[in-house]
Amino acid sequence: MDQHEGNKIGLFAATIIGINAMIGAGIFAMPAKLAYTVGLASMFSYALSGVLVLFIVLALGRLAVLYPGDAWGYRYPALWGGHMVGMIASLGYVGGVTIAMGFLTQQLGVQLMPYLGYDPLTIGLVLLGILVALVLAGTQISSWGQYLIAACVLVPMIVSSIICCMHTKPALMSPIAPYGYDAVITALPLILFSMLGFESISSLYGIVVNPGRNVPRAALYSVVIVASMFSLFIASSLAAIDKSFFVGGMNQAFSQAIAAALPGYEWLGWLISIGAFFAIFGTLHSMVWSVAELFLDVMRKAQNCVVRSCFTGKLLNERVAVLIIGGSTALSAFVVQPGTILQLTSAFVALAYLLSVMALLFDRRTWQTLYDAVIAVGACVSAFWLCWLSVQSTLAVL
């Protein structure tokens, strides 16, 4: 064995990293939204979304092999569209993720409101300020801390799914699609939001043993596992909890709904609240820093003379970037409604995916094998469809 290969990870570890990347506390807001828009048929939305996500992540992985390096959001679109397309894609991704952080800020307040009694938005914004201060102070979450965050989501979600399965009500399971099967399709942008982070799987090619074989398998396994777990969580929740318990929508903590619907499991509400809080807090902490770094990298690539002068005069640095992202997150949380945030995030991020995977269409090596051609076309169709649905849903909400 090569000595460098001894430092690489195997299939199992790569799959765990992929699962960890997609697990997010935003899943606890989905039952309230899907109960009034899709119903139990939302499990089909997760299955379809898993297929679309798999095409995109495999395409990004293929690009990582053909064009190794960092900053995929700029580099891949720029391969075929030049600097301007690269900037549009990367700024779209930064904007979409920043808007998503606004939603997490809102949810941070929603989770704590039953215990603190203050306005949820005020709670969320205060905690966001603390998070930004911690980032500016140089505090970072270790790798084991990231796995702890994932556990904070997984454990409550699995326990909740088991208990809800034990208390399913046949009356809530029919009709399975109370809002029609068209709703299964229109819900895809919401599902995409809950699975964001899958694109990081494509970055594993440099650290995985036999990456050509193991990374696609890790992508398949992690997407299938996460989509299945999320689907089970949503389906079991909606089969055990009447939608009347979600009357507060996404401004009501899932812990309140399950505690009211299943009064014998008050402890489960506490478990979900604790898990969701630490998961959101930890996720926001990591995202503020990483998105600020990405924003700074995008600005360094800008050819505008005003932006370049900011770098020359050292006006735009890591600390300023953190403040800009923190302020933008606060503005998103303050101005945009939760439902609109979900749609806007998916629209911006799906556009970045589309402009990135299109690079495969312009590479002649894509058309040398049927597998590569199917992945490229499938990824472009998937990203375009998600982007189109997100834009339509955003316009409908506004």
State residue 265's pLDDT score.
87
Report d(CA 322, CA 328) in Å as an integer: 10
Report d(CA 92, CA 117) in Å as an integer: 36
Residue 42 burial (C-beta neighbours within 10 Å; 0-12, 13-18, 19+): buried
Report d(CA 8, CA 40) in Å as an integer: 42
Q: CB 372: neighbour CB atoms within 10 A?
A: 18
State residue 251's pLDDT score.
86
Report d(CA 69, CA 204) in Å as an integer: 11
State residue 198's pLDDT score.
85
The amino acid that residue 184 corresponds to is V
Whether a cis peptide bond, with omega within 30° of 0, leads into 175 is yes
Domain range annotation of the chain: 5-397
Digit-coded pLDDT (tens) for 79-121:
999 999 999 999 999 999 999 999 999 999 998 988 888 899 9
State residue 3's pLDDT score.
40
Q: Does residue 282 contact residue 147 with C-beta atoms inside 8 Å?
A: no
Give 208's strand partners.
9
State residue 248's pLDDT score.
84
Mean pLDDT by 10 residues, the chain (398 residues): 58 85 83 91 92 93 83 88 92 92 91 88 94 85 73 90 94 90 91 85 80 86 92 94 89 89 89 89 86 85 67 74 93 86 88 95 94 95 94 79
* 5-397: CATH topology: Amino acid/polyamine transporter I (1.20.1740)
User: Of the candidates 285, 282, 205, 227, which has an alpha carbon nearest to the alpha carbon of residue 14?
Assistant: 205
